[in-house]
């Protein structure tokens, strides 16, 4: 088995190295870009926005100050490439405003001049949404708007600027007895404005719900420069249509999020993590049902990965495997509660209830924080290891209504690839937020092939559409999935999206050619 | 004190009698209507929709069948008056479709003929949204679309028609180990479509979050008859703008909700309830903080009411008081968990931690389900007792960012009334979902007075606006609060609401003159 996976192996960077990543060697990017271009992702030809002129740059500098406008190619290189290194933009200008007023002035100017604007947070998005498509858009980076504005330690409501890094916010509220309602593998780099714009999910989703309930208010700047102050700190507000909901998941196409008000839940004093090794996928659903029964209110995460993911992480990163033997599937359960004795008792009862099931091969429960981190790091580093692996990885972030369907999709893809007899080295991996029906399906191959891509997508997306799943559970559409939108969204809804785009951004300056199909975005 | 409250007293109907309520004596309605009209609520004069003709009725019967079209004045009387008996519509036709296809045909017809349509669920809304404003709208009742379509007992996802009564859904999922994520005092009558259309909150909100996270999918019919199938059962779906969010809280102004997919959480096997008697309001915030600390993840409700509410319920309904003496404030805590021993231990620790505080005067913990119901019935019956009381009750449903501000608002209103020296018998009551900052402020007076109404609203809404609160936490805008929208929503947002209305309903046939100010609704 291990020899089959040789393509994965390479001298891998340490885990979480990517947290600080900016830029990749140009040649590698060009290489990938050329590979990727033929599939029609880049629609520069349809552009309706104008290129930035030297005189525009001068005017922009007058508006927001010299130091907020970057034009030095070296300085802006990292803003022009996404985290995966699969998209390379050619923006000539990056603007880094310090205030909402500056954002407003920049947008009003760009709207007048018909200059495209790509808002950017931590640039960790996985669908190419945060880099420009053409040469004529400016990147508007929120990274200098990173102040925490208020925190109420009775209600747990946090108000901050959009450029605050998620991990820093979590550290801040943690010392006050609270916790951010979301956590992602990218938390050291991604920013709260980017999280809201991409409606990020992550590992706390199952416990605390989506940003549609946790975001209480937003300040946004509309494309014409109007500041829309919906920065409410209220848990409840039923005064007409909830406009802010449209910005959650809008990926920068309706306006710029400048401030965010969030409900943060109280943190838990006790955390426990167990990992089980399973013989087959059927046991996954059984374990979830039992976990809910025995651990109910303290259950805070439920993740899974398969044998190939385990092998990848174990053999490429400095990460220990939980068991001496490999197993077909791994399930991680986390509990968070207010009384450790109670929690351990509940988890033990859960483990007792399942350990005699024939599908359970092994199990381990972390004894301290260090072991908790170790177990989590397996799951968290699968994306990292795949990124660092030589070759090319096709990444899919699917949502399915039934736990069962996750494995069936993976299996269907694997079979289709095998049946083609063309990609003997390809590896199909599955992992993800299993409780939420969120499958991260990844296919690794020694090199990029458009045909393989189409084979995977035909199989996976057809299966997803048949099961009323989603082609993007949490990563969004960006530039990557526009042509596939129809697999998940009915035509009527895509038309309404076009109408909403027209209402908010009639000149189509915001993140041009992202999210909406060309017919609906212009 | 008791003599001061005589106006409240009358031979009161049994608790929850209202659950089956339909209609009120006509003379009482006319009386109230005449009282209420002078404040400009009814804008029939601006109507752009046409009256229903006899030939229209004939055509409608052909479309959906004779039995689905009611025109007998007696039969439709109950559809023409809201639960509070404060709004009386004059619709001449009620349509009760059985299928989405029929809803689609009715809407397409009304859109062509420019006939206004008022969607109606259980008609328990408290802002006059579910009854017609003029004589020319039809009422579209969802009450015959009450089928449960599917339930997945691994994921807990329920799919049902919009006319399902909330309580019945709760009974259904309960036997399968789940619970509806919302519960309201009106659950025996209100329908899930109405709940979604009004974005209902209720007593489980603090534990399970808002409908913006729990509604997974909707099937809706747009005003032109297009069926918009967004009936996803997925917990996560980031494929473009989340259109269904706009329908949540749209109060029937964008289209008709015909089917709902909801995430239901697993039910808890253990429930405990405690009520505390408090000396002053300051102790409320202290208790909330301690409850969160000691009961964390098992806390499932946190409600409060004041002495006057206690007196009202105790003296008018057959309901026992929790303590031998009355106290200025009452706080109810509920826990729901998976292990009763653990839960009781946690609650005991909480009670120990606060019982020596000088602001705590008394406390009681329910010993069985009967006692739990008894304690809850106090809180649940305040609205019922107020409705049954002679005289007139001004009802406000405010949202405030800080727990402290709830009492301050109440106090400000009380003081303003006292300072006017005109309403010696008026009583100001407060109760509500205190954890969510949701204050139900009620002012009772022996008779209706427009001047008193304005005095209350000037004081309360100004205070709310100053504190960035909301004039409608959970009840919505309906016809009651349109002119007050500006206290909570900035102009830019109201304009965007108008744009969205125009996009979805260009002929303005859906629930005319509700939610949006006239300038934005046409
Ligand atoms: C290792 C790793 C793990 C990840 N794990 C998860 C996960 O578990 N769950 C998940 O959902 N995602 C995950 N992601 C994806 C990504 O981290 C998230 O989508 C994140 O929320 C993006 O935030 P960002 O600040 O980096 O946004 P960016 O990448 O900068 O931007 C994302 C999109 O939002 C727009 N945008 C950014 N800021 C603003 C703003 N202020 N106003 C308007 N539009 C804006 C951009 O134009 C772009 O379209 C992961 C990524 C990595 C690299
Ligand atoms: C005793 C009592 C207690 C209450 N407690 C609470 C509480 O705790 N929290 C709370 O939030 N509310 C509460 N309410 C208010 C009310 O019950 C809720 O708003 C409820 O959700 C309304 O549901 P309904 O089916 O009765 O809707 P209706 O009253 O029939 O309609 C409400 C609005 O929604 C529209 N509508 C209804 N059905 C549809 C549909 N299928 N498609 C499109 N539009 C539709 C109507 O046009 C109207 O504008 C309470 C009411 C009472 C009487």
Distance B183 CA to ligand 2 centre (A): 12
Mean local confidence (pLDDT), B367-372: 95
Distance B2 CA to ligand 2 centre (A): 34
Closest CA to B382 of B310, B315, B321: B310
Q: Does A212 contact chain B (CB < 8 Å)? A: yes
Please name the residues between 483 and 512 in chain B that touch chain A, using a CB distance below 8 Å.
Answer: 485, 488-490, 492-494, 496-497, 499-500, 503-504
Judging by DSSP bridges, how do beta strands B137-141 and B116-120 pair with one another? parallel
Closest CA to B106 of B72, B59, B66, B145: B59
The torsion angle over the Cα atoms of residues B212, B214, B217 and B221, rounded to 10 degrees, is -60
Q: Are B236 and A201 in contact (CB under 8 A)?
A: yes
B193 CA: nearest ligand 2 atom: 41
Which two structure tokens, joined as six digits, stand for A360? 């359970």
Judging by DSSP bridges, how do beta strands B392-399 and B438-445 pair with one another? antiparallel
Spatial separation of the C-alpha atoms in residues A353 and B195, rounded to whole Å: 38
- pLDDT, tens digit, 9 for 90 and up, residues B149-180: 999 988 899 999 999 999 999 999 999 999 99
β-bridge partners, A241? none
What H or E segment, with its residue span, contains residue B259? strand B256-263
Which residues 6+ apart lie within 8 Å of B432 measured at CB?
B303, B304, B305, B406, B438, B439, B440
Judging by DSSP bridges, how do beta strands B299-306 and B270-278 pair with one another? unpaired
Which two structure tokens, joined as six digits, stand for A273? 């993590």
- Give the strands of the sheet with B137-141, arranged side by side: B69-70, B94-95, B137-141, B116-120
Query: What backbone torsions phi and psi does residue B158 show, to the nearest 5 degrees?
Result: -105, 135
Strands in B288-328 per DSSP E:
299-306
Spatial separation of the C-alpha atoms in residues A201 and A126, rounded to whole Å: 13
Distance A96 CA to ligand 1 centre (A): 18
Q: Are A190 and A124 in contact (CB under 8 A)?
A: yes
B97 lines ligand 2 (CB under 6 A): no
The torsion angle over the Cα atoms of residues A349, A353, A354 and A355, rounded to 10 degrees, is 80
Residue with CA at minimum distance from ligand 2 atom 19 = B125
Spatial separation of the C-alpha atoms in residues B332 and B363, rounded to whole Å: 10
B118 CA: nearest ligand 2 atom: 47
What H or E segment, with its residue span, contains residue A377? helix A369-380
Residue contact A242–B249, C-beta within 8 A: yes
Closest CA to A223 of A99, A104, A392, A303: A104
Residue contact B243–A493, C-beta within 8 A: yes
B472 lines ligand 2 (CB under 6 A): no
Note the pLDDT of residue A367: 94
Q: Nearest-5° angle of CA A342, CA B376, CA B338?
A: 20
Which class does domain B14-141 fall in?
Answer: alpha beta
Note the pLDDT of residue A9: 30
User: What average pLDDT does the structure give for chain B?
Assistant: 89
Alpha helices in A232-365 (DSSP H): 244-247, 282-295, 307-316, 340-355
Which two structure tokens, joined as six digits, stand for A176? 């006050």
Q: Does A226 contact chain B (CB < 8 Å)? A: yes
Residue identified by tokens 């992480």 is A313
Which residues 6+ apart lie within 8 Å of B462 measured at CB?
B487
- A520 pLDDT band (50/70/90 cuts)? low
Residue A28 has pLDDT above 70, yes or no: no
Residue contact B243–A475, C-beta within 8 A: no
For testing contact with chain A, the best of B236, B342, B402 (most A CBs within 10 A): B236
Spatial separation of the C-alpha atoms in residues A429 and A307, rounded to whole Å: 8
Spatial separation of the C-alpha atoms in residues A3 and B233, rounded to whole Å: 41
Which residues does a 6 A CB cutoff place in the pocket of ligand 1?
A 83, 118-126, 129-130, 142, 162, 184-186, 190-191, 193-195, 197-198, 200-202, 251-252, 256-257, 383, 474-475, 478, 511, 514
Q: Does B474 contact chain A (CB < 8 Å)? A: yes
> Is the pLDDT higher at A29 or at A146?
A146
Coil, helix or strand at residue B483? helix
Q: Are A338 and B294 in contact (CB under 8 A)?
A: yes
Strands in A170-287 per DSSP E:
215-221, 227-230, 256-263, 270-278
Query: B50 in the Ramachandran plot: left (φ > 0), alpha (ψ -120 to 50) or beta?
Result: beta
Spatial separation of the C-alpha atoms in residues B274 and B272, rounded to whole Å: 7
Please name the residues between 342 and 371 in chain A that touch chain B, using a CB distance below 8 Å.
Answer: 342, 345-346
Closest CA to B474 of B184, B179, B275, B153: B184
Which class does domain A148-263 fall in?
Answer: alpha beta
Q: How far is A185 from chain B (nearest CA, A)?
A: 17
Spatial separation of the C-alpha atoms in residues A241 and B245, rounded to whole Å: 9
CB atoms within 10 A of CB B337: 27
Alpha helices in B78-124 (DSSP H): 100-113
Residue with CA at minimum distance from ligand 1 atom 50 = A186
Residue with CA at minimum distance from ligand 1 atom 8 = A202
Residue B215 has pLDDT above 90, yes or no: yes
Judging by DSSP bridges, how do beta strands A94-95 and A137-141 pair with one another? parallel
Q: Are A278 and A364 in contact (CB under 8 A)?
A: no
Q: What is the ipTM of this complex?
A: 0.92
Distance A475 CA to ligand 1 centre (A): 8
Please name the residues between 121 and 150 in chain B that touch chain A, using a CB distance below 8 Å.
Answer: none
Q: How far is B212 from chain A (nearest CA, A)?
A: 6
Q: Which of A271-275, B131-135, B276-280 has the lowest mean pLDDT?
A: B131-135
Spatial separation of the C-alpha atoms in residues A161 and A393, rounded to whole Å: 34
CB-nearest to B497 from A154, A240, A515 is A240
Residue with CA at minimum distance from ligand 1 atom 16 = A125
Q: Which residues of A248-263 are buried (b: 16+ CB within 10 A; e: fewer)?
A: bbbbbbbbbbbbbbbb
Residue A136 has pLDDT above 90, yes or no: no
Residue contact B342–A339, C-beta within 8 A: yes
Q: What are the domain boundaries of chain A?
A: 3-141, 148-263, 270-383, 390-487
Residue contact B337–A401, C-beta within 8 A: no
Q: What is the CATH number of domain A270-383?
A: 3.30.70.2190
Residue B42 has pLDDT above 70, yes or no: no
Q: Are B30 and B66 in contact (CB under 8 A)?
A: no
CB atoms within 10 A of CB A358: 8
Spatial separation of the C-alpha atoms in residues A486 and A473, rounded to whole Å: 15
Which two structure tokens, joined as six digits, stand for B473? 């936490």
Distance B230 CA to ligand 2 centre (A): 22
Residue contact B346–A337, C-beta within 8 A: no
- pLDDT, tens digit, 9 for 90 and up, residues B296-355: 899 999 999 999 999 999 998 989 999 999 999 999 999 999 999 999 999 999 999 999
Which residues 6+ apart lie within 8 Å of B57 measured at CB?
B69, B71, B93
Which two structure tokens, joined as six digits, stand for A427? 């590896």
- Give the strands of the sheet with B438-445, arranged side by side: B360-365, B270-278, B329-337, B299-306, B427-433, B438-445, B392-399
Q: Which residues of A touch B476 (CB under 8 A)?
A: 238
Please name the residues between 382 and 421 in chain B that touch chain A, using a CB distance below 8 Å.
Answer: 399-403
Q: Which of A132-136, B47-51, B394-398 has the highest mean pLDDT?
A: B394-398
Residues present in chain A in total: 522
Spatial separation of the C-alpha atoms in residues B516 and B520, rounded to whole Å: 6
Which two structure tokens, joined as six digits, stand for B41? 């609520």
Give the chain B residue nearest A487 (alpha carbons): B239
- pLDDT, tens digit, 9 for 90 and up, residues B21-31: 222 333 233 32
Q: Does B469 contact chain A (CB < 8 Å)? A: yes
Note the pLDDT of residue A12: 26
- pLDDT, tens digit, 9 for 90 and up, residues A242-294: 999 999 999 999 999 999 999 999 999 999 999 999 999 999 989 999 999 99
For testing contact with chain B, the best of A237, A284, A288 (most B CBs within 10 A): A237
Q: Does A282 contact chain B (CB < 8 Å)? A: no
Closest CA to B236 of A475, A311, A379, A184: A475
Q: How far is B468 from chain A (nearest CA, A)?
A: 7
Residue contact A250–B236, C-beta within 8 A: no
Residue contact B337–A246, C-beta within 8 A: no
Residue with CA at minimum distance from ligand 2 atom 37 = B194
Which two structure tokens, joined as six digits, stand for A418? 């095998």
Q: Which of A279-283, B83-87, B111-115 has the lowest mean pLDDT?
A: B83-87
Mean local confidence (pLDDT), A332-346: 97
Residue with CA at minimum distance from ligand 1 atom 38 = A194
- Compute the Cα dihedral for A384, A388, A390, A396 and give only its sign: positive
Q: Transcribe A381-402 into DSSP letters.
A: THHHHHHHSSSEEEEEEEE-SS
Distance B81 CA to ligand 2 centre (A): 14
Choose the CATH number for A3-141 among 3.40.1260.10, 3.30.43.10, 3.40.50.300, 1.10.10.10: 3.30.43.10
Note the pLDDT of residue B394: 94
Closest CA to A254 of B506, B244, B242, B248: B242
Choose the CATH number for B390-487 among 3.40.50.920, 3.30.70.2740, 3.30.930.10, 3.90.1310.10: 3.30.70.2740
Do B148-263 and B390-487 come out as alike in CATH topology? no
Q: Does B268 contact chain A (CB < 8 Å)? A: yes
Spatial separation of the C-alpha atoms in residues B426 and B311, rounded to whole Å: 15
Give the chain B residue nearest A486 (alpha carbons): B239
Closest CA to B409 of B452, B359, B358, B460: B460
Spatial separation of the C-alpha atoms in residues A86 and A127, rounded to whole Å: 9
Distance A22 CA to ligand 1 centre (A): 15
Q: Which of A46-55, B277-286, B490-499 has the lowest mean pLDDT?
A: A46-55
pLDDT above 70 coverage of chain A, percent: 90
pLDDT above 90 coverage of chain A, percent: 83
Which residues 6+ apart lie within 8 Å of B88 measured at CB?
B29, B30, B33, B80, B81, B131
Closest CA to B235 of A87, A469, A172: A469
Mean local confidence (pLDDT), A359-366: 96
């Amino acid at each position: 088995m291990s020899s089959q996976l040789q393509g994965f192996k390479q001298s891998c960077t340490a885990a979480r190295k990517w947290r600080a990543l900016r830029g990749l060697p140009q040649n590698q990017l060009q290489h990938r870009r050329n590979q990727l271009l033929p599939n029609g992702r880049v629609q520069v030809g349809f552009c309706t926005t104008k290129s930035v002129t030297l005189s525009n740059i001068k005017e922009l500098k007058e508006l927001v100050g010299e130091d907020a406008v970057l034009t030095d190619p070296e300085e802006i290189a990292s803003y022009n490439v996404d985290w995966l290194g699969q998209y390379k933009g050619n923006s000539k200008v990056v603007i880094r405003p310090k205030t909402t007023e500056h954002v407003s002035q920049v947008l009003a100017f760009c709207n007048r001049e018909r200059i495209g604007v790509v808002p950017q947070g931590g640039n960790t998005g996985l669908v190419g949404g945060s880099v420009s498509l053409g040469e004529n858009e400016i990147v508007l980076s929120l990274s200098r708007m990173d102040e925490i504005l208020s925190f109420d330690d009775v209600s747990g409501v946090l108000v901050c600027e959009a450029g605050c890094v998620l991990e820093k916010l979590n550290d801040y509220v943690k010392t006050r007895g609270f916790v951010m309602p979301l956590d992602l593998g990218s938390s050291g780099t991604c920013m709260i404005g980017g999280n809201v714009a991409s409606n990020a999910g992550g590992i706390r989703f199952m416990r605390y719900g989506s940003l549609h309930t946790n975001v209480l208010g937003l300040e946004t700047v509309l494309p014409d420069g109007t500041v829309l102050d919906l920065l409410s700190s209220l848990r409840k507000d039923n005064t007409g249509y909830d406009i802010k909901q449209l910005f959650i998941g809008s990926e920068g196409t309706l306006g710029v999020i400048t401030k965010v008000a969030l409900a943060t839940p109280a943190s838990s004093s006790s955390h426990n993590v167990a990992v089980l090794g399973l013989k087959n996928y059927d046991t996954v659903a059984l374990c979830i049902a039992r976990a809910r029964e025995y651990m109910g209110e303290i259950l805070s995460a439920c993740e899974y990965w398969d044998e190939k993911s385990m092998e990848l992480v174990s053999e490429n990163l400095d990460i220990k495997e939980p068991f001496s033997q490999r197993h077909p599937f791994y399930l991680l359960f986390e509990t968070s509660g207010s009384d450790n004795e109670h929690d351990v008792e509940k988890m033990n009862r859960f483990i007792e209830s399942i350990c005699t099931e024939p599908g359970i091969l092994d199990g381990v429960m972390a004894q301290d924080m260090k072991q908790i981190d170790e177990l989590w790091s397996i799951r968290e580093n699968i994306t990292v290891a795949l990124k660092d692996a030589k070759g090319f990885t096709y990444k899919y972030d699917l949502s399915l209504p039934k736990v069962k369907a996750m494995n069936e999709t993976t299996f269907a893809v694997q079979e289709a690839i095998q049946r083609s007899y063309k990609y003997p080295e390809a590896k199909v991996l599955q992992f993800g937020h299993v409780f939420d029906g969120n499958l991260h399906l990844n296919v690794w191959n020694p090199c990029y092939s458009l045909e393989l891509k189409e084979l995977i997508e035909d199989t996976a997306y057809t299966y997803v559409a048949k099961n009323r799943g989603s082609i993007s559970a949490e990563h969004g559409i960006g530039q990557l999935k526009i042509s596939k939108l129809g697999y998940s969204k009915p035509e009527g809804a895509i038309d309404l999206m076009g109408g909403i785009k027209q209402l908010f951004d009639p000149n189509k300056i915001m993140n041009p050619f992202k999210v909406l199909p060309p017919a609906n975005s212009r």
